[in-house]
Structure 1
Amino acid sequence: MLYSIWRYRHFILASIRGDLKGRFARSRLGAFWFILHPLAQSLIFSIVLAEVMRTRMPNIDSQAAYPIYLLSGMAAWGLFSEILTRSIGIFIEQASAMKKIAFPRLCLPVIVWGSALINHVLLLLAIAVIFLFFGHYPGFAWLYLIPGMLLISIMAFGIGVFLGILNVFARDVAQFMTVFLQLWFWFTPIVYLKSVVPEKFQFLIGLNPMTPLVGLYQDALLFNQRPEWMNLWPAIVVGFVAVVVSFMVFRRASPELVDAL
C-alpha cells in the first residue's frame, strides 16, 4: 500500500493543490479563512476567560500569556481535528471519483493529510505575527513543533482512516464522532490549565493522548521550552497502533468499499 502511494505521488500532490484551490474558489479572502476561523474562536475564549485564567498562569507576568497559551493549544487541536474529521468522511465525499477512476483508495486520506498540514503551517505563520504584536518573540523551541506536527497528524490519520472505513458501512460513525470530538476537546487542557483540574479527574486528563501533544505546543510557543519526551510515549503508541490497525482494516475492506458506496 505504501508503494502504491509513492507511485501515485504526483496524483496526490496535484490533488492537494486542487483541494486547496477548490476551497479558495469564489472566496475573496481565500486562504485567510483557514486562519480566521481558529483565530476568531481563540479570541472569543480569550475575551471570556482571560481574567479568570490569567491569575492561574504560574510564573508568568505577561498580559498576553493566556491568549498565547490558548492559541498554541488551538493550533495543535485544529490540526488533529481537521485530519480526523475530513478523513472520516473522505470516502463518502469522493464516492463518484472512486467509482469512475482507478487509483489507490488510500490516496484520499493522504490528500487530506497534506492539505491539513499546509493549512496548519499557514496558521502557525499567522500566530507568529500575532505573537510579535504581543511582544512575544519566537525562539528555537518552535523547532519542536515539527515532531509535534508529525505525531498529531499520524495519530489523526490512523484514527481517521479506521473510522472512515467504518463510516462507509455505518453512517452513524460520523455523527457519533461529531459529538465525541466536542467532549474530547474539553477533556484536553486547551482552554484551561491542567493544574486547575480537580485531583480526582487528573487521571482522565493523563489518559488523553492529545494532552502531551497539546502540551508540546504550549511549552514551545509560550514557555520556549523543549517537551518532556517521556510524556509523549502514550501518543506515539496510540498513533502507531492506530496506523497499523487502520492499514489492516483498509486492506481487508478495500475491495468492498466501492460496492458499499
Structure 2
Amino acid sequence: MSTLKISYIIEITKRDFAERFAGSVLGSLWAIIWPMVNLFIYIVIFGKVMGARLPGTSDMNAYGVYLATGLIPWTAFAATINRCTSVFLDKKHIITKVNTSFSSLLLHIHLSETITYIISMLVFFIILAFQGYEFHRSLLLLPFLYYLQQLLALGIGLFAAVLNVFIRDVREITGVILQLWFWFTPIVYISNILPQFVQKLIAYNPAYIIIESYHRIFVFNEYPSFKSLMLLTIMTHFILFFSFLMLRYLEKDIRDFL
C-alpha cells in the first residue's frame, strides 16, 4: 500500500470522526464519554443495582462483564457491516469525481470503528482494574480475535455494499438481518437457556464463535475453542476473497451505475 493511499485513508478517517461529532461542544470527547456511560450501565446498573447474575457464580460483576464483553465487539462488528453496506452510495460524490480506490473507503470505516473499539476496551480495562479483576493470559488472543471479527465484517459488508448499488433495499435488509442476528447470538442471555436443538443450531453462527471466545477470555478466564476459531478463520478469508472477486468483476458497472 503506497504512502499516498495510507495518507488518504487517515485523512478520510479523521474527517469521519469530525463529521460524526460536528456541531457538538465536546467534539471527539464523546468517543470516550459514550463507552464510559455504556459500560457503567452494563456493569453497575445490570450487575449491582438490578442484581443480574450468571448461573453458577456469586460474583456480582459477572453478568455485567459478560454483557460488556459481548456488546463491545458486537457493536464494532455490526457497525462495520452496516456502514460498509451503504459506503458506495454515501461516498458517491467522491467516487464519481475522483478515481478513488473502493478498498480505501472500506478501510477507513474499519479504522474508524477500530478507534472506537480500542477506546471502549481501554475504558473497560480501567474499570476492571479498579474492581480488582484478575487478568488471564488468554487476553493475548484479543488482537487476533478482533482481527478475525473485523475481517468477517469487511467481507460481509463488502458483499452487501456491491449489491446495494444495484438493489437499494439491501441496506434495509442488512439492518433487519443484523437485528435478528443479534438476538440469535448469546450476548444478553446465556446459551444454556435455549432449547437443545437451538443450542446445536447456534454453534454454526459465526458471531457466536466470536462472542463466546470473548466470554471465555473475560468471564471464565480460559482459552477459547481453537478448533472453532480455525474453522472461522478459513470461512472468513473465503468470504472476504469472494467479496473482493465480486467487487473486482463488477467495479466498472458500479462506477457506471453510480
- Normalised to the residue count of structure 2, the TM-score between the two structures is 0.89
Is 1:153 aligned to 2:119, yes or no?
Answer: no
Post-superposition offset of 1:249: 0.6
Q: 1:254 aligns with which of 246, 251, 258?
A: 251
Is 1:126 aligned to 2:133, yes or no?
Answer: no
Matches of residues 34-53 of structure 1 in structure 2 within 5 Å?
A: 34=31, 36-37=33-34, 47=45
Greater shift in the superposed pair: 61-70 or 133-142:
133-142
Is 1:224 aligned to 2:198, yes or no?
Answer: no
Greater shift in the superposed pair: 6-15 or 197-206:
6-15
Is 1:191 aligned to 2:188, yes or no?
Answer: yes
Q: Which residue is equivalent to 1:84?
A: 81
- Normalised to the residue count of structure 1, the TM-score between the two structures is 0.88
Q: 1:116 aligns with which of 92, 106, 113?
A: 113
Q: Which residue is equivalent to 2:60?
A: 63
Deviations along 1:213-244, whole A, 9 cap, x unmatched? 11121122222322221121342133112101
Q: How many pairs are equivalent?
A: 256
**CA distance 1:255–1:88, change in 2 (3 Å):** same
Q: Which residue is equivalent to 2:53?
A: 54
Distance 1:76 1:155 in 2: 12
Post-superposition offset of 1:251: 0.4
Is 1:100 aligned to 2:102, yes or no?
Answer: no
List alignment gaps of at least 5 residues for structure 2: none
Greater shift in the superposed pair: 75-84 or 234-243:
234-243
Q: Which residue is equivalent to 2:176?
A: 179
Please tell me whether the aligned partners of residues 158 and 246 of structure 1 are also in contact (alpha carbons under 8 angstroms): yes
Post-superposition offset of 1:30: 3.3
**CA distance 1:252–1:55, change in 2 (3 Å):** closer
Post-superposition offset of 1:79: 1.4
Q: CA RMSD in A?
A: 2.3
Post-superposition offset of 1:109: 0.6
Distance 2:174 2:142 in 1: 26
Q: Which residue is equivalent to 1:207?
A: 204
Q: Which residue is equivalent to 1:241?
A: 238
Greater shift in the superposed pair: 32-41 or 233-242:
32-41
Please tell me whether the aligned partners of residues 53 and 66 of structure 1 are also in contact (alpha carbons under 8 angstroms): yes
Greater shift in the superposed pair: 155-164 or 140-149:
140-149
